[in-house]
Structure 1
Amino acid sequence: AQDDHAVATHHASFNTLVLFSVTTRSAHFVTTVSPEHKGKRLTFNGWWQSSWVPCVDDDLEVVLRCPEKRRTLTHTQLQAITDLVNDRWQDISPDRREVLQELRAQV
């Protein structure tokens, strides 16, 4: 589901692999397998991560303005940027904070 509240359902089926993207604006839920279930189920889980942890000294404006860079942000990175911008203890000028908040709101 690419939108905040959009719903897409894929029912489990035998011998099927389902791949999907988890973005900063999507959510997902996977049901559990009942202990009484007769069939078998093999599950692979994984998250793509990045070594970059955003900090105040980074050029966050460029990352948030550029669509290509913005698309590569992980949920964790976007949350870190949000936390930095909203943290009044961070040494961010009021003008820069306002710009960052506006850019973040567009993501």
Structure 2
Amino acid sequence: YDVESYIQLYNCLGFLMQVEVEYIHKVIWNAKKPVMTIKAMAAGRTSPFVGLTFSFSTIREKDMVTVGCFTPHEAVEDVEIGLAAIERRPPVLEGRASPNKTSIMK
């Protein structure tokens, strides 16, 4: 079949991936067409900051990262994190509701 892009599981934890992250990284970089990556946050096993920053920092410019969101606020946060990774800057985010949050994290 003549396809215009590929879909590939890709995340920093290797979650659900059949082979090592390093091998899939090589596959993505050698793909002849754009690659749409899925499960960047390893089904909630890593934070959006870690998962999206890893994905956008290790794929090519023509590749894509997909995310699933429950609320519009999550979508806004994920877009900001993704753009920050692409633009190589820190994301501008409100404080997160995390059980590990301390007074340092505002």
Bigger fraction of residues in helix: 2
TM-score, L = length of structure 2: 0.29
Higher gyration radius (CA): 1
Bigger fraction of residues in strand: 2
TM-score, L = length of structure 1: 0.29
